[in-house]
Amino acid sequence: MRPRRPATYKDKRPRIRETHVDITPGADKRLEKVFAAIGVPAPEPFKPDPFQLKALTAIQQSDCLVTAPTGAGKTWIAEQAIARIHNRGGKSWYASPLKALSNSKYAEFSSLFGAEHVGILTGDRKENPDAPIIVGTTEILRNQLYDSMHQGKTLSADFVVLDEAHFLGDKDRGVVWEEIMIYLPTRIPLLLLSATIGNAPQVAQWLSSIRSQKCKVIQEHKRPVPLFPLFFHPSGTLYPLLSDGGNASGGKRLYKKVDQYLKGKTRSVFTSPRQLPPFGAILEVLKKYNLLPAIFFLKSRADCDRAIEYCTQNRSRNPRHEKDLRDRVEALLGRNPHLSHHRQRRCLERFAVGAHHSGQLPAWKLVLETLMTEGLLDAVFATSTVAAGVNFPARTMVFFNSDRFNGSEFQPLNPTEFHQMTGRAGRRGKDHIGFAMAVPGKFMDPRLVARLINAPPSHVESQIRINFSMVLNLLLSHTPDQIEDLLEKSFATYLIHTSGKRKKRAKDPHSHTVLWQEFLRHLNFLIENEYVAPDGKLEEDGRWASRLRIDQPLMVAEGFRQELLPTTDPALLAAAMAAFVNEREPDDRIDKKFLPKKLTKTFHAIRRGLRPFSRQMQARGFSIVPLFLRPAATLYHWAAGQSWEDVLAVSEIEEGDLAMLILRTADNLRHIKSLAPVFPEAAETAGSAIELILRDPVIMDYGD
């Protein structure tokens, strides 16, 4: 069922008469001076900004939280600080939220420090793990902290960088960030980097309180490339979005002609709301005024894929540029034979446009990011996920919607989301000025965009929560009383103690009181099922189950306990793990030709065998993800060597989603592989399964 949008933009005035107009490029006179400033800055020697030097000094004396706009040079601070540690013979850990970001930073650091001195740990990649400089994902760093606490050792690092630190407030993954900040030994200096933390001083004060040392805040508000907001009138005329003056509240007023358009009883439009805008004609306008390359933010994957078909008139006027693009595409796609026949390759080469979203293969997205970064594309049509930290710059960001799908419903963009998206506008060293362009439509509220332009980033809130993996891993090295002390260090607890509203906020789901009650609820269930002894110490089953740092550790552990898992057949084990990692509710009516007897027999035995345990979990109020046959059948056929096209037909999902299902299955199999001391046969089978499923086109070539 398609999610409904909130009635945010419904006009309460009498019905507006809409008229369709042809697009003719034009620009308001107020833009002449602005457009004249467009161009490429002259090369000049690098000179650190004052905030960068302040941060470098601060991190030598204390922890440091740096907030600065995208492109301002936060990574330079990390590089210089890591260089200092490296030159003294120390070790550094650079953690980022995304595998793509980690891969990018690994390449950068290998070039800067020498490949022999840099390693990467992302789950998918494990290279040079004992190197003095490690780049990896936050989950891997958190797991290493678990291991070091269990072994009674300290983390093998002398310096830690947490990039994109605003992920502390991420609903799904913020718990990992908060755990790292709580568990990290105080002897290890911590550098946090972010473009969008509205309450940076509050976060720093919390860190100072739990780490017994000062966390200094270094803030830079000036963008390295100024941002200018535009409005695209359906006639093709460009206007400033904002007037020169401010309103009583200190914000910016809409430009007079934009305001008149929005208030008019007759309003010109591109097309009917059910049709896509004429992207080819819009590109013509942007091209005339030198506003390319651009990223167009659209509401759905399907719209991104359809949009590139509207750009057939966007042929290059420069034969050399067209040849350079074709040659570079050939060079990039030559690494991956499957991508050579990608259905969107024609649009990529002929019209210099591409579609970038989570339904695309990771390797295809990497091709687009590379081409865009090298200045070979005019436009990329993307969903808002492209804003999540990928180094993907452009001169202009084009918005057709002022809302965003959050996984369950559409909500108006908040300041942090908007700043993340506009942070890509204007490339340092390539642009004097960047642009954010609002295009009117059914789901665009230009007044909201006007408010967001200068709005401060949203505050980051605690997202810590209890799960079985956390409880098992903390019990490896702590008593329940010690764990209560750890939970007392949560960011939510700090906010409650410092807000003066303790009674009101004590029921916060992330507060210490609620966290402790949740811990006890999980602990009692583990005791009841003999993973933990009544005195709070782990039983033998609890010890090995703690190695399953996955979404459903107890369900998988029960599968081992009851000898339900296929521990000798790699394809069947991959199939079983796919059922556990699947987050969708697929149509399980599958053609029997895709269901070998041994697959269905194994799957139904697992589901039937785990049913009493899952009912017990549900009765205690713990959420359960149902097991479905289709993802299991999908991974079985992929592990059995079937072609990508045939497996796509079985899966009935987009290839980017299929790649993600395979990668997550591989990650679960890695955790089973770690159980070799207890389940050697299963561990060996898991290793074989990983080799079978990580093949073209899922895996990426990380060469030059």
pLDDT for 14-25, tens place per residue?
466 667 778 999
200-211 helix and 174-183 helix, angle to the nearest 10 degrees:
40
Percent of the chain with pLDDT over 90: 75
Report field, pTM of the whole predicted structure over 0.85: yes
Phi and psi at 588, nearest 5°, equal -90, 10
Out of 190-199, 321-330, 399-408, 648-657, which region has the weakest mean confidence (pLDDT)? Answer: 399-408
Percent of the chain with pLDDT over 70: 92
Read off the pLDDT of residues 635-645 as tens digits, 9 standing for 90 and up: 999 999 999 99
How many of the other CB atoms lie within 10 Å of CB of 246?
Answer: 12
The mean pLDDT value of the chain amounts to 90
Cα–Cα distance, 401 to 404 (Å, whole number): 8
Read off the pLDDT of residues 101-120 as tens digits, 9 standing for 90 and up: 899 899 999 999 999 999 99
Cα–Cα distance, 171 to 159 (Å, whole number): 27
How many of the other CB atoms lie within 10 Å of CB of 419?
Answer: 25
For 455, the token pair is: 């709005």
For 586, the token pair is: 């697929």
How many of the other CB atoms lie within 10 Å of CB of 208?
Answer: 15
pLDDT at position 507, please? 61
Cα–Cα distance, 635 to 638 (Å, whole number): 5
Read off the pLDDT of residues 509-565 as tens digits, 9 standing for 90 and up: 667 788 999 999 999 999 999 999 999 999 999 999 999 999 999 999 999 999 999
Tell me the average pLDDT across 370-379.
Answer: 93
Strands 133-137 and 118-121, how do they pair? parallel
Angle at 645 between CA 641 and CA 646, to 5 degrees: 60
Burial 110-136 (b: 16+ CB within 10 A, else e): beebeeeebbbbbbbbeebeebbbbbb
Q: Are residues 582 and 641 in contact, defined by beta-carbon separation less than 8 angstroms?
A: no
